[in-house]
Amino acid sequence: MPALRIGPRPLPLHLGMAATALLGGVAAAPTDGFAGAADEAERAFDEFLAGIHAYWAHPYRRAVAEPAVLWRGGSARLFDYGGAGRPVLFVPSLVNRAYILDLAPERSLVRHLAARGLRPLLLDWGAPGDAELGFDLDGYVAHRLTPAFDAAVAATGGPVGLCGYCMGGLLALALARDRTEAISSLAFMAVPWDFHTDSALAVRAAALLGAALDDTPGGLGEAPVDLLQAFFAFVQPEQVAAKFRAFAALPQDGDRARDFVALEDWLNDGVPLSGALARDCLTGWYGANRPARGEWHVAGRPVHPSAIDLPALVMIPKRDRIVPRASALPLATALANPTVHELDAGHIGMAVGRRARDEVWRPLVEWFGGAG
């Protein structure tokens, strides 16, 4: 985490969206309520700015001991959190940093599992280096995820549990297709499958970004962090201003303020994607909806969940706006041996929220055979 905070990213976009939304409310106000609406808009925008300044000034900095590294490949590392129990490999999204699953000592899914009789392994993709900038989805599965998994099996004796979070779950499915015999069971945390259900705004935003990548002269080597953050901002246009206004009202020396800053630091500590990977995700997944249509191929062969005959826990947060329930539930329907666990949480809250310990961490311990 850099010493100087620059979020919420991209800041000009968030400021502009907040101002536009507030001015729209003023313009829609009746004539006799115009002055009051204008005063309210100004007050709300001032609260938003106050929240940003409070975030920049907060003293919190992440301080978590880095675990042992079991395997390295390019910019990727496989972290080993220890423990003599059954190994479980966690595959996070490529869009955000892996440490959402190890955010702080008291808010760490993987450390919790290590203390409950499992041996969690976390794949940290890292920022793409020279090699990864040429990777598409096939490249990441073949040259990063598969070797990391094989190293986990070799180190632990296998079989290994496999848990994918968000887009990491799709990559985990591609791996499971080819390594079924070495996997004990699967778990999926907020994994999209049908990208055209309940996500019209996301589809339009993805199509726009995909077209921008395709139209860049000579091709875009990478999709910058701020471009990716802009995509999520369009999906949830009102969220950032609302949460910073709420943050401004918190006691800044309290636990809730600290937790907000820890999470916001992670959100703003993103990594770019290779241009080829971004096009695969935006045009292939969001644009063409290839997974749900049975047309998604990795290494030239289809990825069909129905062909993966492993026990699979499908965890679906009902308040998820990044991966709506209607997008995640079709994965459970498509899998050969699913167990569905729905929970009252959002996309990120399911991993680090105040109820995550009971609603997500404990079920994962039980699913993978930990000590409870």
Q: What stretches of the chain show up as alpha helix (H) in DSSP?
A: 11-27, 34-57, 109-114, 137-140, 146-156, 167-178, 200-215, 225-235, 239-248, 255-268, 275-279, 290-293, 325-334, 349-352, 356, 362-367
pLDDT at 218: 47
Nearest alpha carbon to residue 67 among 146, 1, 126, 122: 122
- Find out whether 7 and 1 touch, Cβ atoms under 8 Å: no
- Listing from the earlier edge strand, what are the strands of the sheet with 118-124? 68-73, 76-80, 118-124, 86-91, 160-165, 183-189, 312-317, 338-343
Tens digits of pLDDT across the chain (372 residues): 446 898 999 999 899 988 888 877 767 777 777 778 788 889 999 999 999 999 999 999 999 999 999 999 999 999 999 988 999 999 999 999 999 999 999 999 999 999 999 999 999 999 999 999 999 999 999 999 999 999 999 999 989 999 999 999 999 999 999 999 999 999 999 999 999 886 655 666 666 666 666 655 445 578 888 877 887 777 777 889 999 999 999 999 999 999 999 999 999 999 999 988 988 998 899 889 999 999 999 999 999 999 999 999 999 999 998 899 999 999 999 999 999 999 999 999 999 999 999 999 999 999 999 775
How distant, in Å, are the alpha carbons of 79, 136, 215, 334 from that of 211? 36, 17, 6, 30
Q: In whole angstroms, give the CA distance from residue 236 to residue 347.
A: 12
Name the 3-class secondary structure at 178.
Answer: helix
pLDDT at 173: 98
pLDDT at 3: 60
pTM tops 0.85:
yes
**Structure token pair of residue 221:** 């080597």
Q: In whole angstroms, give the CA distance from residue 261 to residue 250.
A: 12
Amino acid at 7: G
Q: In whole angstroms, give the CA distance from residue 280 to residue 195.
A: 13
Nearest alpha carbon to residue 244 among 58, 59, 52: 52
Read off φ and ψ for residue 354, nearest 5 degrees: -70, -20
- Find out whether 281 and 192 touch, Cβ atoms under 8 Å: no
pLDDT at 75: 97
